[in-house]
Chains A and B, each alone.
Chain A
Amino acid sequence: MTADTLLQRERDPALQPEIESPILSIESLSLWYGEKKALKEISLEIPEKQITAFIGPSGCGKSTLLRCINRLNDLIDGVRIEGDIDFNGTSIFDPRIDINALRKRIGMVFQKSNPFPKSIYENVAYGPRIQGINRKRDLDEIVEKSLKGAALWDEVKDRLDDSALGLSGGQQQRLCIARAIAVEPEVILFDEPCSALDPIATARIEELMQDLKSQYTQVIVTHNMQQASRVSDLTAFLYLGELIEYGPTEKIFINPIKKQTEDYITGRFG
């Protein structure tokens, strides 16, 4: 941690929640898409086995920030990153790091459900197979455990060999969660996981996130402020690439420090 960010933290209580032993700490992270600066010196720490929400209006950079954490932005041409993200005390931008191993430990669930055009079983078994687990008995066990973990087992246990694309939207999204937890990550990133789902499917996903809390650190990007207030323990408000305010969810929603936060929460813009 640089002296600069420490100074900033001391100066600004809006960016300084009480976090012991953070699993991820983002330090003065800036990101450019070509000439456009999409993230501006963002620093925040994410606690272990809690749910942290990133909120903010469209284009504020919350998804970009999330995709930095598993280095999915590497795939986009013309992206330049400065600053650092520490994961369990190791910089994820260290050139010696194995990016595929990193992504195994930091799973992700996307905005639109993206099952592979394979069977339900093969979707869940995909990650373990990549890791070299090929014994049928082991895979069966992992698939069952993961689907149960994603509260999908009872609905699909009789049709594991059917195409995953035949499932409903909510089921597909839970399948993607099952697929993510099949590789036993430490962190799961949710990129607006419910934006394409109806309220009932959304409620199931939110319920599932609470169940997963005991085992995984979760970070969720959401448009939906009610959702952030329902599911998260900590909330970070981003606006135009800057971190405006970060703190316990209740505090952000009930008693925000910054005017911009309050305006956004109360729906005056965004």
Chain B
Amino acid sequence: MSAHASPATAAEPARIGALDLASSRSRGKTSSLYGGSRSWSELLGQSLTWLCGGALAFNILLVLAILSLLAWNGLGYFWQEDLVEFTMKDGTKVLGEIWQEEAIAITPEMPAVDRLRLKIGNRDITGLDFAWIDRANIASQRKPQDSVLIERLEWGNFHGYLRELHNGGQVLAQGSEAVWQKLLPLLARKAAERDRIRALEEDEIGDINYDIEKLRLAERRLDLAGLPAAEHARRKAEIDQEIATREAEYQRLADRLAQMRQALVAETLVAETAAGETREIPVGGIVSVIRPDRLGVFGKLGLQLKRIGQFIVDDPRESNTEGGIFPAIFGTVMMVFLMAFAVAPLGVLAAVYLREYAKQGLLVRLVRIAVNNLAAVPSIVFGVFGLGFFVYLIGGSIDRLFYPEALPTPTFGTGGILWAALTLALLTVPVVIVAAEEGLAAVPRIVREGSLALGATKFETIRKVVIPAAAPGILTGMILAMARAAGEVAPLMIVGMVKLAPTLPLDGRPPFLHLERKFMHLGFHIFDVGFQSPNVEATTPLVFATALLLITVVTVMNLLAISLRNHLRRKYAGSAV
């Protein structure tokens, strides 16, 4: 600091700025308009302002970077690249999409080698989805107009050329263009057939299986009931009769299903890979066929949108590596809503007691500190608690009391969406309590007194005036809680979340809402497809797409809650919170 005042340092250019300040300070002594150390404090204030602004800008940039990274990688997954056929110098041919290009030096002395990463498809033939080729080995490359990409139900995509279309021994079409023309209407028909098979399996056969299972349980219950032997035998016969009817029905439907399945694979497509191998693909097992090299930019954009739509509404296939993620979206949203239903009354009532009824003192302060610290407990601890308390203790008791016939198979005594929602409700209740308390505290005393002065009791005042006035603040807490719940994965892994749930927790079979069922979750899905899948390389982009979708789901839920809050605020314009 002493340097600033010393004129001897004037020669050092780095200190000129400081010197200017020193001189302005000395000017200040002569003229009272330029008060004392004003320049210094102004400079300090300005640099602090810049520092704060910079910090904010940095945060915004980070968020934008995250979102654009997810959007670029996630949406890119749905984009169809051209298929390129490479002829190598040794004469082999390969058809694939270029995913990546890099220069790689094997040893520091050697010149770098340019190589391409191709998505080559045909996993059933090559056993690989991706291949690296050196640029130096490429003799020629072209974009064949008649190359096709066949999306199959099994074995992933097929890259190659259309050759023939068969029905049994009969040839329906020959040659690339003729097959293409015949194939498109056939595919639409096959898709409809697949839908019918699925409907038969899930609805009619599913219903019968469900009934048979219920009858089995009824039989077991009968055994446990300890009725007189005659009565027992009579009822058992009734149930057996019923089961026999259902099983006959099942047999009939199973036969029909077998026929339909046979019809589905009647037609086969003969296609040839770039390497010259032919493959027979049942048309019933094809999801779609496209000719990427003939699609223009708009065609590709349309395809991208269609794929995004399918990704959202379809069920997953091939152990989650293909197809859509609808069950995960559904499970996430439903679990969060169940959690909200549980946490809202719990949190608000606790906050009302803490703020309005409890005598403010040491005990309440301690409780408040404990509640706040609850928010800092690692979430997996809540998961363990949920497993021990909800699943084993409460769920186990429910099973013993209400579902003894199903034992040892647990009904509620195993992870399920209800236990997951309640576990997360415990996890997020501190957030709601804190926000609700703040909302309640912000309602002015004079408004409460206004109600009391009209002869309302304290309870009426809280219910009719204080809580409505605090509702926007409470909703803010709910928004935070829902956002946190939607993102939690760790505790859910032990209280009911699964990699693949066969049924949704909400369906058309009574009682419609199946709270004991396991569910899928987007957060876990990201982990699963990214790191647990048999084909990690191919599914990495799915991680980004799923993450983008998770963010979208959370954002949509938050926007809903925010619009509700703003509606309340408008309704009580200028209200307390």
Does A107 touch B at the CB level, under 8 Å?
A: yes
What residues of B have a CB within 8 angstroms of the CB of A166 in the complex? 573-574
Chain B interface category by residue count: 20 to 34
Report if A176-B572 is in contact (Cβ < 8 Å); known contacts: A100-B455, A100-B457, A101-B455: no
What residues of A have a CB within 8 angstroms of the CB of B449 in the complex? 72, 75, 108, 110, 114
Proximity string of chain B (440-467) to chain A, C-beta cutoff 8 Å, 1 when within and 0 when not: 0000101101111111110010001100
Residue of A nearest to B446 (CB): A114
The CA-CA distance from A101 to B453 in the complex, in Å, is: 10
The CA-CA distance from A176 to B449 in the complex, in Å, is: 12
Contact call A130/B454, Cβ cutoff below 8 A: yes
Contact call A104/B468, Cβ cutoff below 8 A: no
Residue of B nearest to A98 (CB): B455
B312 shortest CB reach to chain A, Å: 40
Does B576 touch A at the CB level, under 8 Å?
A: yes
Report if A103-B453 is in contact (Cβ < 8 Å); known contacts: A117-B468, A126-B464: yes
The CA-CA distance from A9 to B571 in the complex, in Å, is: 55
Report if A107-B454 is in contact (Cβ < 8 Å); known contacts: A117-B469, A118-B468: yes
Contact call A163/B446, Cβ cutoff below 8 A: no
Does A2 touch B at the CB level, under 8 Å?
A: no
Within A195-238, the residues touching B (CB, 8 Å) are none
Does B575 touch A at the CB level, under 8 Å?
A: yes
Contact call A103/B454, Cβ cutoff below 8 A: yes
Contact call A165/B572, Cβ cutoff below 8 A: yes
Contact call A183/B455, Cβ cutoff below 8 A: yes
Within B34-58, the residues touching A (CB, 8 Å) are none
Report if A70-B453 is in contact (Cβ < 8 Å); known contacts: A114-B444, A116-B469: yes
What residues of B have a CB within 8 angstroms of the CB of A163 in the complex? 571-574
The CA-CA distance from A108 to B574 in the complex, in Å, is: 23
A11 shortest CB reach to chain B, Å: 36
Report if A183-B575 is in contact (Cβ < 8 Å); known contacts: A114-B447, A116-B465, A118-B468: no
Contact call B446/A112, Cβ cutoff below 8 A: yes
Contact call B452/A165, Cβ cutoff below 8 A: no
Chain A interface category by residue count: 20 to 34
Contact call B444/A104, Cβ cutoff below 8 A: no
Listed residue (A107, A115, A116) with the most chain B CB atoms within 10 angstroms of its CB: A116
The CA-CA distance from A165 to B574 in the complex, in Å, is: 6
What residues of A have a CB within 8 angstroms of the CB of B572 in the complex? 117-118, 163, 165
Within B454-499, the residues touching A (CB, 8 Å) are 454-457, 460, 464-465, 468-469
Residue of A nearest to B468 (CB): A117
Report if A103-B574 is in contact (Cβ < 8 Å); known contacts: A116-B447, A118-B468: no
Contact call B455/A117, Cβ cutoff below 8 A: no
- Within 8 Å by CB of A114, from B450, B460, B573, lies B450
Residue of B nearest to A101 (CB): B455
Contact call A127/B573, Cβ cutoff below 8 A: no
Contact call B453/A107, Cβ cutoff below 8 A: yes
Contact call B451/A72, Cβ cutoff below 8 A: no
Does A39 touch B at the CB level, under 8 Å?
A: no
Contact call A127/B575, Cβ cutoff below 8 A: no
Contact call A130/B446, Cβ cutoff below 8 A: no
Does A180 touch B at the CB level, under 8 Å?
A: yes
What residues of A have a CB within 8 angstroms of the CB of B460 in the complex? 130
Report if A183-B454 is in contact (Cβ < 8 Å); known contacts: A114-B444, A116-B447: yes
Contact call B455/A130, Cβ cutoff below 8 A: yes
The CA-CA distance from A149 to B460 in the complex, in Å, is: 26
The CA-CA distance from A100 to B459 in the complex, in Å, is: 12
Proximity string of chain A (118-160) to chain B, C-beta cutoff 8 Å, 1 when within and 0 when not: 1000000011001100000000000000000000000000000
Contact call A75/B452, Cβ cutoff below 8 A: yes
The CA-CA distance from A114 to B454 in the complex, in Å, is: 12
Proximity string of chain B (535-577) to chain A, C-beta cutoff 8 Å, 1 when within and 0 when not: 0000000000000000000000000000000000001111110
| Pairs A–B under 8 Å by Cβ, sample size 9 | A110-B446, A110-B450, A110-B453, A111-B446, A114-B446, A114-B450, A117-B572, A126-B451, A165-B572
Known: A103-B452, A103-B453, A110-B453. 17 other contacts (CB 8 A): A75-B452, A100-B457, A101-B455, A104-B454, A108-B453, A110-B449, A114-B446, A114-B447, A116-B451, A126-B451, A127-B454, A130-B454, A130-B460, A131-B455, A165-B574, A176-B450, A179-B454
The 7 closest A-B CB pairs, nearest first, are: A104-B455, A117-B572, A108-B453, A117-B575, A114-B450, A127-B454, A165-B574
